[in-house]
Chains A and B, each alone.
Chain A
Amino acid sequence: MNVPLNIDWQQILLHLLNFSILTLGLYLLLFKPVQKFIKERNDYYLGLDKEAKEKLSQAEELKASYEQKLNSAEEEIEEVKARSAEEAKAAADEVIRKAKEESDKIIADARKAAELERTRILEEAQGEIVALAVEATEKLLAKSTSDTLDQFLYAVKEE
């Protein structure tokens, strides 16, 4: 049969066969290996990405735990500080109390000593006064005349 435009079914089939073999060959030799390599590389990068994300999350967890530890350490430090301050205050109070007691004692002792000294001084002064009075009386008596005594006695009598 004479087909117009020189269309030939045998040649169409030959072209089909040729193109099919070419496509299959290109797929096996070029397309598939290149695509496989691209996939492997993508997987490699995805693995790296996943690994990086895991490391990042681990780092974040570590950071969070360190922050928590830091916070608890700060709280602990605050507690220790407060406790130390309390202890220091107590110690200072104790020292002050002891110092006060001691000072009170010193003052009391001083007062007592002063009192004793005063008593002693008074006693000594009294003794001296008595001695002086006796001495003065003696002197007066020695100087005194009978007039004087008479005048005295007279006066006493008038009264």
Chain B
Amino acid sequence: MALLVGVFLTKTPDLKHESIKEVMRDAVLHESNRISLFGIMEVNPGFISALVVSVSLLLFAAIIRIFVIPRFKIMPGRFQMALEKLVMFFTDFAKENSPHRYGFLSVYIFGAGTYIFCGTVFELLGIQAITTHGSPIALPAPLSDINGAIAMGCLSYLVMLSGGFVESRLKGIGKGLKDFSMPLSMSFRLFGAMLSGVLVTELVYYYKALSFVLPVFIGVLFTLLHALVQTYVLIILTSMTYGELTEPTNKKIKRA
């Protein structure tokens, strides 16, 4: 009913300056809609999103560090418990998947998990930015930018290789290089998953008739769901491979 009322009460759509094909293509490639980074260079909107998410998270963390953590109690309150659960979740996750070496891994997956989840949910806010052409654009999820997804995939792979190197030097790197397709698969999986949400949302919003009520379910649920799923997929892939690469060799076990 709300959908029908919305359709009939609004004007017929004006001619849009972009076709659906162009909108979709731009959502994937960001070729035309670029944003100036402090006048230094033009970047994809995804990078601006990444900066906004990072600064917001760091500010939030700083506020917690200054005002909340010094007041932590032995018997925790709700917020303290939530923070402790969050930290313990990533620590336990790393410990479970990589029992031999998990210190650095837990920090990495904490950062990556927080970034992917918050970055994905960030697109729900619909923060507007002005492109270099002067048109407004809603900032997308940072990882819906292929450059961001590649960066995250490659960094995760580097983290795994570093774990292998620390544990077994060149042999560890050799073991890691066997899965040479992993950075590519991780990057494009992340990119594809993030992009699916963006494309569905773009599609829904492009047609006025679909932009009532439906976005509440499609946009929010899709975003929340794939935020959780992608966070989980990346951290579990990273943790498991890191765990495999940091397993002690037979010689070390015998010596121990």
Q: What is A's interface to B at a CB cutoff of 8 Å?
A: 5-8, 10-16, 18-23, 25-27, 29-31, 33-35, 37-38, 41, 44
Known contacts A8-B44, A23-B112, A38-B87, then 15 further A-B pairs from the complex at CB < 8 Å, ordered by chain A residue:
A5-B28, A5-B146, A6-B147, A7-B146, A7-B147, A12-B150, A16-B151, A18-B50, A19-B151, A20-B155, A25-B57, A26-B58, A30-B65, A37-B84, A38-B84
Instruction: Scan residues 26-68 of chain B and give those whose CB is less than 8 A from a CB of chain A.
Output: 28-31, 41, 43-44, 47, 50-51, 53-54, 57-58, 61-62, 64-65
B110 pairs with A27, CB closer than 8 A = yes
B69 pairs with A22, CB closer than 8 A = no
Residue pairs across A and B with CB atoms within 8 Å: the count is: 112
Question: Could you show 12 A-B contacts with beta carbons less than 8 Å apart?
Answer: A11-B47, A11-B145, A14-B147, A15-B142, A19-B54, A19-B111, A19-B112, A23-B115, A25-B61, A30-B83, A35-B87, A35-B91
B72 pairs with A19, CB closer than 8 A = no
B143: nearest chain-A partner, CB-CB: A15
A22 pairs with B84, CB closer than 8 A = no
Query: For the complex, what is the distance from the CA of A10 to the CA of B47, rounded to whole Å?
Result: 11
**Does B148 touch A at the CB level, under 8 Å?**
yes
A4: nearest chain-B partner, CB-CB: B29
Which of A16, A30, A44 meets B155, CB within 8 Å?
A16
Query: Top 5 nearest A-B pairs by Cβ distance?
Result: A23-B111, A15-B151, A29-B61, A11-B147, A22-B54
A33 pairs with B148, CB closer than 8 A = no
B109 → chain A closest CB, angstroms: 10
| Interfacial chain A residues near B57, Cβ < 8 Å | 22, 25-26
Contacts A22-B111, A31-B110, A34-B83 given; indicate if A6 touches B150 (C-beta within 8 A).
Answer: no
B70 → chain A closest CB, angstroms: 9
Q: What is B's interface to A at a CB cutoff of 8 Å?
A: 28-31, 41, 43-44, 47, 50-51, 53-54, 57-58, 61-62, 64-65, 69, 72, 74, 83-84, 87-88, 90-91, 106-108, 110-112, 114-115, 142, 145-148, 150-152, 154-155
B69 pairs with A15, CB closer than 8 A = no
B88 pairs with A38, CB closer than 8 A = yes
Contacts A6-B29, A6-B146, A44-B74 given; indicate if A27 touches B107 (C-beta within 8 A).
Answer: yes
Interface of A is mostly: helix
B25 → chain A closest CB, angstroms: 10
| Interfacial chain A residues near B154, Cβ < 8 Å | 12, 16
Which of A16, A18, A20, A30 meets B61, CB within 8 Å?
A30
B50: nearest chain-A partner, CB-CB: A18
B87 → chain A closest CB, angstroms: 5
Contacts A10-B41, A14-B47, A18-B51 given; indicate if A31 touches B107 (C-beta within 8 A).
Answer: yes
Contacts A7-B147, A11-B145, A38-B88 given; indicate if A26 touches B69 (C-beta within 8 A).
Answer: no
| Interfacial chain B residues near A12, Cβ < 8 Å | 147, 150-151, 154
Contacts A23-B108, A27-B107, A35-B87 given; indicate if A14 touches B43 (C-beta within 8 A).
Answer: yes
A18 pairs with B87, CB closer than 8 A = no
Query: For the complex, what is the distance from the CA of A5 to the CA of B91, rounded to whole Å?
Result: 36
B104: nearest chain-A partner, CB-CB: A27
